[in-house]
Amino acid sequence: MKRRTFLQVPLLASLAAEANAATKNSMPGKGFKVERGKDRFDEELQIMGGQFYCKVSSADTDGRFCIYDTFRDEKGGPAYHLHHEQDEWFYVMKGEFIVKVGDDMFTLKAGDSAFAPRKIPHAFAKVNDGEGQMMVMFQPAGTMEDFFKEMSKMGRNIPKDQETKLRELWATHGMQIVGPPLKY
């Protein structure tokens, strides 16, 4: 066997193994529907003043992204934080939210969206009375679904001292709390 061929064989075997693994972990081969007010997996996630419904799971996209529909009754939101590996996109469907991304502050109403790139601190808060609804997408998905499941175990209310109480949980899922929640 020639040296060139000898070196190519392990490379080709490695590429074939990767392709085979990718096929096993690939996205589902067909579409699906998730009804309004329903979760992709029929889970009840009560988190920080609202209900979270997974609409597109990381399992559906081979980890590329996940999408949550959130309904919020309470004013407020999470601590000022950043994601080390994910971009986050917010789309308001009902109500009014403020979103801070880096040094920029945005007021979002129904139909408005904001984008927070990875590694840039950001936070949001629902500021209206009554219900608010916001779709949130994380790209790539990372462990955000596991994070929300863990958060739901802490109860529906927004922790008053979340920037100290939740620091370790957030770090476990690739996020860093860098300040308190937004004041509104």
170: domain CATH number is 2.60.120.10
Within a domain: 1:
no
pTM over 0.85: no
Assess whether pLDDT exceeds 50 at residue 139.
yes
Rg (CA), the chain: 20
Q: How many domains does the chain have?
A: 1
Q: Do residues 54 and 39 touch, judged by C-beta distance below 8 A?
A: yes
Let me know if residue 164 belongs to a domain: yes
Residue 20 falls inside a structural domain: no
State the chain's mean pLDDT as an integer.
87
Res. 16: pLDDT tops 50: no
Show the domain range for 96: 45-179
Q: In Å, how far from its chain's centre is CA 106?
A: 19
Alpha carbon separation from 135 to 18, 33, 131, 132 (Å, rounded): 34, 16, 14, 10
Give the whole-angstrom CA distance, residue 67 versus residue 65.
7
Q: Do 95 and 131 form a contact (C-beta atoms < 8 A)? A: yes
Instruction: Give yes or no for residue 24 having a pLDDT over 70.
Output: no
Mean pLDDT of 104-125: 98
The angle subtended at Cα 178 by Cα 165 and Cα 78, nearest 5°, is 60
